[in-house]
Amino acid sequence: MSDDPHFVDSTRSGGTSRTLRMYGRRDSRDAYALRDYLTRSVVSYEWTEIETDLACYALTGQSLHDAALPIVDLPNGSRLVQPTPAEVAARLGWVMRPQHREYDLSIYGAGPAGLSAAVYAASEGLKVVLLEREAVGGQAGYSSLIENYLGFPDGIRGSDLAERARQQAIAFGAELLLMRGGTHGEFQGDRMIATLNDGTTMISHSNICATGVEWRRLGVAREDELLGLGVFYGAGTSEAAHCSGEDVIVVGGGNSAGQAVLNLSAQARSVTMVVRGADLSATLSSYLVSRIKNRTNVRLALNSSVTELLGDASLESVATIDSHTGERGLLKARKLFVCIGGAPNTDWARDTSIERDHLGYLVTGPDLSRAHLRDHWPLERAPFYLETSVPGSFAAGDVRRNSVKRVASGVGEGAMAVAFVHRFLSEHFV
């Protein structure tokens, strides 16, 4: 994989460091977005906090007040000032144009389900393109350690698992288009035309939607304003190293929150886990419950919700309420990680004949409603198990109604969806 432009790795450079270097202010939303993106993309980088005028003059020739930060120094010696993750990805050569005008299969979302579908489709000879609007790995990229995925008895970091799958898909010949998201779908017989976020279109004879879920928000005042300035969505894999000696808060009672607590508590002085329910075991796997209870620097705030985020330029403290006693609490913390599940990424299907349930999940196969099938389904045969109400358009992983929400089930559904794609294509193109 030495020509693979995805990797920027100091181990591959034959001596000269090819590590990316990043400089920025401590509480910087832009710097966090870059760290988060690079961590999930398995790129090695060095982060330096610029805290004094002296350091800032040495780096930029300007004072801390005037300088445009963050700065990214690329391995090839070029410097990017205040870049977005998309700009860094483009400068690293990851943002490509499609190689073909039409594909047998287009897959949207490069989480476990989409990556698995790409591996199986490409290995079985389909002309396949995988489109990802952000970073490869999806939610799994936020996991500090996946311990229940078959074949990894010591666990594996989610981003490492995804990086392996990415390499596997590319090796089989799948095309990966990063920073490309589907925004709308149109179905013309056996041609699916997706409009992408850059205004271009993607044409394929079948598609798999593996767009997963988006983090759910707390829904409290100042959440947007403090995003990246102490408030983070997800498990904070890139931030754990910066929590040393801090008191931090994790909101949520599910497995992703549990993993975040374990990961952060290894660095932080204390972690408070704010959970709406009365008992962790109702929502958390038992191996995580026992480990959390064994951590002496973890405090549980059960029956509790966050009501207010407080601070001037960045988060300073968090107000909570106990739903049983009505008691209000105030927790001092400069970092809060929100892990309260998510809502499906299916806006692209809004004006199509694809059936979604009341929460927006894509309905497939046996779950499709009779009324919807009567009005929209055009074929004699019944929809395949992972097929939506549009023939040839499939859904796999967390985005699907009644999905299991595990890495293994996403991977399994990705592989299964490809088997149905073959059956669909053979009905139309053989």
Residues of this chain that interact with ligand FAD (CB under 6 A) are 108-114, 131-134, 138-140, 142-143, 146-149, 181-182, 210-213, 235, 255-256, 259, 345, 348, 397-399, 405-408, 410
Amino acid at 200: T
State how far Cα 332 lies from the chain centre. Answer: 28
How far apart, in whole angstroms, are the C-alpha atoms of residue 398 and residue 365?
15
Two tokens, residue 106: 């287009």
CB of 210 to ligand FAD, least distance (A): 5
How far apart, in whole angstroms, are the C-alpha atoms of residue 69 and residue 30?
8
Nearer to ligand FAD, 106 or 304 (CB): 106
Q: Is 118:416 a contact under the CB 8 Å cutoff?
A: no
For the chain, the C-alpha Rg in angstroms (whole number) is 23
CB of 274 to ligand FAD, least distance (A): 16
Nearer to ligand FAD, 4 or 147 (CB): 147
Nearer to ligand FAD, 64 or 266 (CB): 266
How far apart, in whole angstroms, are the C-alpha atoms of residue 333 and residue 268?
11
CB of 395 to ligand FAD, least distance (A): 9
Nearer to ligand FAD, 141 or 311 (CB): 141
CB of 319 to ligand FAD, least distance (A): 25
Buried (b) or exposed (e) across 302-328, using 16+ Cβ within 10 A?
bbbbbeebebeebbebbebbeeeeeee
**Integer CA distances (angstroms), 342 to 122, 128, 339, 360, 426, in order:** 30, 28, 9, 11, 36
How far apart, in whole angstroms, are the C-alpha atoms of residue 215 and residue 249?
17
Nearer to ligand FAD, 212 or 311 (CB): 212
3-state secondary structure of 196: strand
Nearer to ligand FAD, 284 or 306 (CB): 284
Nearer to ligand FAD, 49 or 160 (CB): 160
Q: Is 394:104 a contact under the CB 8 Å cutoff?
A: no
Nearer to ligand FAD, 51 or 198 (CB): 198
CB of 39 to ligand FAD, least distance (A): 13
CB of 389 to ligand FAD, least distance (A): 19
CB of 105 to ligand FAD, least distance (A): 14
Two tokens, residue 31: 């710097």
CB of 179 to ligand FAD, least distance (A): 9
How far apart, in whole angstroms, are the C-alpha atoms of residue 25 and residue 253?
32
